[in-house]
Structure 1
Amino acid sequence: MHATTTAAALSGIHNIRDLGGHPLPGGGVTRSGVFLRGDALRGLDTAGLRALLDGGLVRILDLRSDMEVAEGPNPLAGHEVIGYRHLPIYNGLATIDAMTKTHPDGFDMGLRYRAALGDCREAFAAALSHLAEAEEGATLFHCTAGKDRTGLVAALLLLNAGVEREDVVADYAATATHGAGLIDTLREKARARGSDPAHAERVLGSRPETMRATLDWLEQAHGGATAYMRTIGLPDETVSRLRTRLGG
């Protein structure tokens, strides 16, 4: 599977993409069939599962909260071929509602991303370590929509591999196209709950400027993604392995 893989190509699945195919500064592209980013696979059907297996999927890393997993278990948890690991990445992070009250005039998802990278360091370190230790074959990491928690992990992996900043931003923003069906469903649910439409759009959107602001913060606060990985405790060997696995 390639970076341009869409839900249409994987029946029953929204917003799943291979991190392969991104240009590298020294020539070549990131390796396909190593890391996949996606949503919770709630709509997975037989054809979609066959496509994932044929594409070499061997492991899943579920980044959702305990409550999200209880309400909608990953359909491949317990699969006889595909290994499954649940590792909540936002545990202890303030809720969106709490952050909105703290920033009533200026909340956006970039604020949440920066808070997550700062407050959930141990969880990010555990997730990245797990990805580095994965056996040969493809590992899918996912949250609910495949946009926020998944987008942050994907950005760290791509930047560490040497992918240019604007390509990382474009990968994040692609959820607006690849995950449109799922985002529309979440938008309808927010509307049914009586959420403010403008607030819902800020939460559900994947605007390029949101990721740009996050990458600015990573650079200013830590010196970039690779330095951030070391700051949160990843040894050089793990950082190097992540780079080699994806960057070739």
Structure 2
Amino acid sequence: MLWLDLEGAVNARDVGGIPTDDGGKITRGRLLRSDNLQDLSPTDVTYLVDHLGLSTVVDLRSPTEVASEGPAPLTRLGHVTHVNYSLLPEHGFAATEEALLIRRKREEERFPGDPSCAHYLSYVEHRPDSIVSALRAVNRSPGAALVHCAAGKDRTGVVVAFALTVAGARREDVIRDYAATGERLHLILERLRNSPTYAGSVDSVPEDHHRPRAETMEAFLEHLDKRYGGVLGVLGRHGFTDDELDALRRKLRE
């Protein structure tokens, strides 16, 4: 993977270079992932658009988050397409510590050993339409597509894991890409603490509880295998066609 050295985002990278099952690699400059883009500098915008060829931004935050944070620098560029597909249930985001604690308690009850896995499964159960729409946006992008949420960790991690799996990335490398966000965790949390939208929730649990664990993504993918026939089974159940699978694979491989 290639970390992107941006002034206004700390968890940005190009997933190009990740190995695939057939001995190939994911192509660079096709799929980028990041944390919130609100603080991008003019230099960052130029680098993403002019150097990396960014043409589509896929925002996985809830409408409440988007409204709270306001316009980001890239939204001012008419030639960059922006789409918003929340992975939370409608009205599912509340920036109150009480609501977040209630949600965490339910997830801990469902998966006592790994509530994050329960959280990721809820994306599949409640918003498969958004996962499908996000992948379609990547498919339609004439240039690089960038997928992001607030931290670039959970929602982004799930959608990117879906995309990489469709492209034939080895599972161990899908998991490794997810866990790589842990290298930037301290910087991510500092950014979130500086945002009125997210500051209240960051320190409601110990910092290490935010850390992406390889075991979480491994368990999540295994649950998808058992319940739905894997990533492809989930997508097929929700209208993502074989032609779309082939197109996404070509997009990320050629």
Q: Pick the TM interval, shorter chain.
A: 0.7 to 0.9
Task: Give the direction of change, closer, same or farther, for the CA distance of 1:247–1:227 in structure 2 (3 Å limit).
Answer: farther
Task: Give the total of aligned pairs.
Answer: 241
- What does the per-residue CA deviation read over 1:164-194, in whole Å, with 9 as the maximum and x for residues that have no partner? 1111111111111145312244368888669
Rounded to whole Å, the distance in 2 between the matches of 1:88 and 1:104 is 22
What secondary structure sits across from 2:73 in the alignment?
coil
Task: Give the direction of change, closer, same or farther, for the CA distance of 1:144–1:195 in structure 2 (3 Å limit).
Answer: closer
| 1:59 partnered with 2:56 | yes
Q: Does the 8 Å contact 2:61/2:150 carry over to 1?
A: yes
Task: Give the direction of change, closer, same or farther, for the CA distance of 1:71–1:187 in structure 2 (3 Å limit).
Answer: closer
**2:26 aligned residue (27, 30, 33):** 30
- Which aligned pairs between 1:176-187 and structure 2 lie closer than 5 A? 176-186=182-192
Rounded to whole Å, the distance in 1 between the matches of 2:138 and 2:211 is 27
**RMSD value over aligned CA atoms?**
2.4
Rounded to whole Å, the distance in 1 between the matches of 2:123 and 2:233 is 17
Query: Structure 2 length normalisation: TM-score?
Result: 0.85
Give structure 1 regions of 4+ aligned residues with deviation exceeding 6 angstroms: 187-194
- What runs of 5+ residues in structure 1 fail to find an aligned partner? none
**1:235 aligned residue (223, 241, 254):** 241
Query: Structure 1 length normalisation: TM-score?
Result: 0.87
Rounded to whole Å, the distance in 2 between the matches of 1:49 and 1:214 is 34
Equivalent residue, structure 1, for 2:126 = 119
Q: Does the 8 Å contact 1:16/1:178 carry over to 2?
A: no
Task: Give the direction of change, closer, same or farther, for the CA distance of 1:28–1:193 in structure 2 (3 Å limit).
Answer: closer
Rounded to whole Å, the distance in 1 between the matches of 2:126 and 2:3 is 32
| 1:99 partnered with 2:110 | no
Amino acid at match of 1:59: T
Equivalent residue, structure 1, for 2:15 = 19
Equivalent residue, structure 1, for 2:84 = 86
Identity %: 31
Task: Give the direction of change, closer, same or farther, for the CA distance of 1:115–1:79 in structure 2 (3 Å limit).
Answer: same
Amino acid at match of 1:121: P
What secondary structure sits across from 2:29 in the alignment?
coil
- What does the per-residue CA deviation read over 1:15-64, in whole Å, with 9 as the maximum and x for residues that have no partner? 11112100112222111111111112122112211211211111111111
Q: Does the 8 Å contact 1:23/1:30 carry over to 2?
A: yes
Equivalent residue, structure 1, for 2:40 = 44
Task: Give the direction of change, closer, same or farther, for the CA distance of 1:197–1:31 in structure 2 (3 Å limit).
Answer: same
**Superposed displacement of residue 98, structure 1:** 3.3
Equivalent residue, structure 1, for 2:175 = 169
Amino acid at match of 1:28: G
What secondary structure sits across from 1:29 in the alignment?
coil
What secondary structure sits across from 1:76 in the alignment?
helix
Equivalent residue, structure 2, for 1:221 = 227
Rounded to whole Å, the distance in 1 between the matches of 2:230 and 2:165 is 8
Rounded to whole Å, the distance in 2 between the matches of 1:163 and 1:194 is 32
Rounded to whole Å, the distance in 2 between the matches of 1:101 and 1:181 is 26
Equivalent residue, structure 2, for 1:131 = 138
